[in-house]
Amino acid sequence: MTRKELYENKLQMDYFSDDYIRFEEDFQKYSAMNVPLTFLIDDILRTMAINQKDYFVLNKENAKDGREHRFYFRVKMSENKAVRGFSYTFCI
């Protein structure tokens, strides 16, 4: 089983929440990447799950201001622990 298959349909983000909108705004504020966030989000969630982290790092090479930024999330497990939900909290 590949890593992609292991986490497929088990990692979720509420795209219609105020938290996600704030995340989108913060990411656009700091990111110099030309790839839209929509195309990155599955990889971001999978990387956080595989590494058992509640944050991901936008490295300084991809940041507008040349500084590293960490985006933190609250992780909630579903009742049957099959699905992890991610809610954005803050960026430093």
- The full set of domain ranges for the chain reads 3-91
Q: For residue 81, is pLDDT > 90?
A: no
Residue 84 DSSP one-character state: E
- Separation between Cα atoms, residue 64 and residue 13, nearest integer Å: 25
Record the pTM: 0.84
Stretch (H or E) spanning 18 = helix 18-30
pLDDT in tens, 25-66: 999 999 999 999 989 999 999 999 999 999 999 999 999 999
Compute the Cα dihedral for 40, 90, 73, 56 and give only its sign: positive
Q: At what angle do helices 37-50 and 18-30 cross, to 10 degrees?
A: 100
Q: What is the pLDDT of residue 1?
A: 59
Residue type present at position 41:
I
Do 55 and 74 touch, CB atoms closer than 8 A?
A: no
